[in-house]
Structure 1
């Protein structure tokens, strides 16, 4: 096959989810014409979605050499460099977009540009959840919501995000873009606890929120803050039937389910004891650790050792 036929076959294989064959065809096409910027970019993109960051960085860099005005290649080079904590290369990539990345060569510290809150779409298999996060730089964000346990993400996890926004959410009266996550960049030490309680009014819930915040933990009222969306709304802007609250959701429901991010059992137990002392009318029905940070990290360590 000639170069054109190989590239066509590569894209056909990619669409059929045969990524190994797609890679083989792209490489064969480049063996014929290594100066083809488009094929270099396509191969880099394939590696990006496989989290093969060294290869993605290599071919994105080559694309920018061949086509210095290719914005997508510069952005994906920044993502790949960030995934590898190659801050010097990331700084060069973001400079193309007018973003200055401060470098601390002595400590090689990860930068925090304080780019504001953004919603991040976490997709793992069939599980999809939108979480609020502080954007640290163009390619990283730190989760500030308490995710549902099935999501697998924890409060304060830092995740790598893609560059192209898909959909919007409202924040302080303004639409902000939603970004898709790519993978974990750094795991946090927080565990996710589920707290089920009979809470007579919003007063008691607000007290718990304040106590949790003062103890360097985080609280999410899953009874009021979690909203199920259709696929179109998840990937776009929620439309009217999702934005209109019914009387049932407006009225206070005493049976509440909260998500709590805490570093350990005792820290949470101390706050709950103080909460019930302040509001003896509250009845805690169940508390359990639904996503244990230590167990999760141990599993990751075992997997890393097995891979070595």
Structure 2
């Protein structure tokens, strides 16, 4: 291939990219890279080709091309080639490459080998289940994975599942003056076995409901008032939303739970039995 031909193909690739024709753009880049893998601008071509396959959710190709892009990127300077490779390697559970990619980006990881199980703070993820979207809180385990800490209302989604999310925030939530990013889900990484339940509880005072939430949390289960769910349009959801800290209140109310049904009944009985007056429950239902 002559350089003049390569230049024309690259121009076609740029045009396809602008039109969001990811497959065509990636194919054109690869045609050129097969002949000119190490030209001065080739690092950009490798990156765009890998990114196109990321958009297509073709993770094997995103990984293959991402390795080449990262090999041509400066280490420790936040180059996005490493981030995209970290995502693709994590999806393939290639932990050695994922760890090297995050380090190459400039992040500090927990010492060790294998799967990354760290404490990267809290964030939100916009779950996407066949077009149904729901923003939930997660505990971040690594730069791209997090454990869901809410009881989702979307069918088929569960408390405790591990989701893999994109690296570019798409919105933010502000709570008590602290700002948390909202990431878009890329895929469900590990499902949770905890079913979703709903129950009606009567709480004599706000502290009673907080005690129930704490009791379930102490057993690695979930519990939260159903009234905590709010609905936003896509424009608002992808912007900055100021959220009030969770506040419990007294009275009869529906509560979402994440626990095996028998254990949930036992914990509800224990909670109700801790006070002679002011606590009761009824109508436990399995929702999914």
Secondary structure of 1:137's aligned partner: coil
**Aligned residue number for residue 290 of structure 1:** 287
Matched, 1:174 2:186: no
Aligned residue among 227, 230, 238 for 1:227:
230
In structure 2, the partner of 1:78 is 86
Note the residue ranges of structure 2 that are not aligned, 5 or more in a row.
none
CA RMSD of aligned residues (A): 3.1
206-215 vs 5-14, greater mean Cα deviation:
5-14
Deviation, 1:29, is 5.4
Give 1:135's match in structure 2, choosing from 140, 149, 156: 140
Matched, 1:48 2:54: yes
Distance 1:136 1:198, change over 3 A: same
Shift of 1:270: 0.7
Contact 1:6 1:28 in 2 (8 A): no
- TM-score w.r.t. structure 2 length? 0.81
TM-score (norm 1): 0.76
Q: What is the CA–CA distance in structure 2 between the aligned matches of 1:217 and 1:91, rounded to whole Å? A: 30
SS in 1 for 2:16: helix
Structure 2 partner of 1:10: 16
Query: Match of 1:217?
Result: 221
Structure 2 residue 187 is matched with structure 1 residue 183 = yes
Paired residue total? 276
Distance 2:36 2:200 in 1: 62
1:122 partnered with 2:127: yes
Q: How far apart are the structure 2 equivalents of 1:14 and 1:160?
A: 23
**Paired residues of 1:161 and 1:179 also in contact (CA < 8 A):** yes
CA drift at 1:266? 0.9
Matches of residues 28-43 of structure 1 in structure 2 within 5 Å?
28=31, 30=33, 34=37, 36-43=42-49
1:236 equivalent in alignment to 2:239: yes
Please say if residues 166 and 183 of structure 2, whose CA atoms lie closer than 8 Å, have aligned partners that are also in contact.
Answer: yes
Aligned counterparts, 1:96-115, within 5 A: 96-102=104-110, 104-105=112-113, 108=114, 110-115=115-120
Pairwise CA distance, 1:285? 4.5
Is 1:274 the counterpart of 2:270 in the alignment? yes
Name the counterpart of 1:256: 253
C-alpha distance 202-96 of structure 1, shift in aligned 2 (>3 A): same
- The structure in which a higher percent of residues are helix is 1
Give unpaired runs (5+ residues) of structure 1: 292-308
Residues 103 and 199 of structure 1, relative CA distance in 2, 3 Å threshold:
closer
Q: Does 1:92 align with 2:100?
A: yes
SS of the residue corresponding to residue 118 of structure 1 reads strand
Q: CA deviation at 1:77?
A: 0.5
Q: CA distance change for structure 1 residues 125 and 193 in 2, over 3 Å: closer, same or farther?
A: same
Residues 11, 217 of structure 1: alpha-carbon distance in 2 compared, 3 angstrom cutoff: same
